[in-house]
């Protein structure tokens, strides 16, 4: 089965910083990669799909890139409301796989 590995597992950054989270698939998944944000105590929400397409309503400071096995989620200027756990997901076929998550805090 395909595995999705995120790095780092956690990070702390300052408001205004550029933040990058990576997700690596054990096998090529084309661009069937999504990113979700889960704020503390809340339901996960879709941020990005097809590796780089921003979901409607998501701030433009979020962006995604990659194809095949290596993907990145970038926040261009970190805001306090971005404190959350971020998950990547391969969704092209069953089994659908989530990465283990990256916890993002404000320094």
Partner 1 sequence: EVQLVQSGAEVKKPGESLRISCKGSGYTFTNYWINWVRQMPGKGLEWMGRIDPSDSYTNYNPTFQGHVTMSVDKSISTAYLQWSSLEASDTAMYYCTRHVVTDPFDFWGHGTTVTVSS
Residues making contact with partner 1 (CB under 8 A)? 32, 34, 36, 38, 43-46, 49, 55, 85, 87, 89, 91-101
Q: What DSSP character marks residue 82? A: G
The Cα–Cα gap between 65 and 73 comes to 7
Report CA 64 to chain centroid distance, whole Å: 8
Tokens of 24: 């690596």
Q: Which residue lies nearer to partner 1 by CB, 15 or 96?
A: 96
The minimum distance between CB 1 and partner 1, in angstroms, equals 8
The minimum distance between CB 41 and partner 1, in angstroms, equals 10
The Cα–Cα gap between 73 and 64 comes to 5
Q: Which residue lies nearer to partner 1 by CB, 14 or 94?
A: 94
């Amino acid at each position: 089965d395909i595995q999705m590995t995120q790095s780092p597992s956690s990070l702390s950054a300052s408001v205004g910083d550029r933040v990058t989270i990576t997700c690596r698939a054990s096998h090529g998944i084309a661009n069937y990669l999504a990113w979700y944000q889960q704020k503390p105590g809340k339901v996960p929400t879709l941020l990005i799909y097809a590796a780089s397409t921003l979901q409607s309503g998501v701030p433009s400071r979020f962006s995604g890139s990659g194809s095949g096995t290596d993907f990145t989620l970038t926040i261009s200027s970190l805001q306090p409301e971005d404190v959350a756990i971020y998950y990547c997901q391969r969704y092209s076929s069953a089994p659908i796989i989530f990465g283990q998550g990256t916890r993002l805090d404000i320094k």
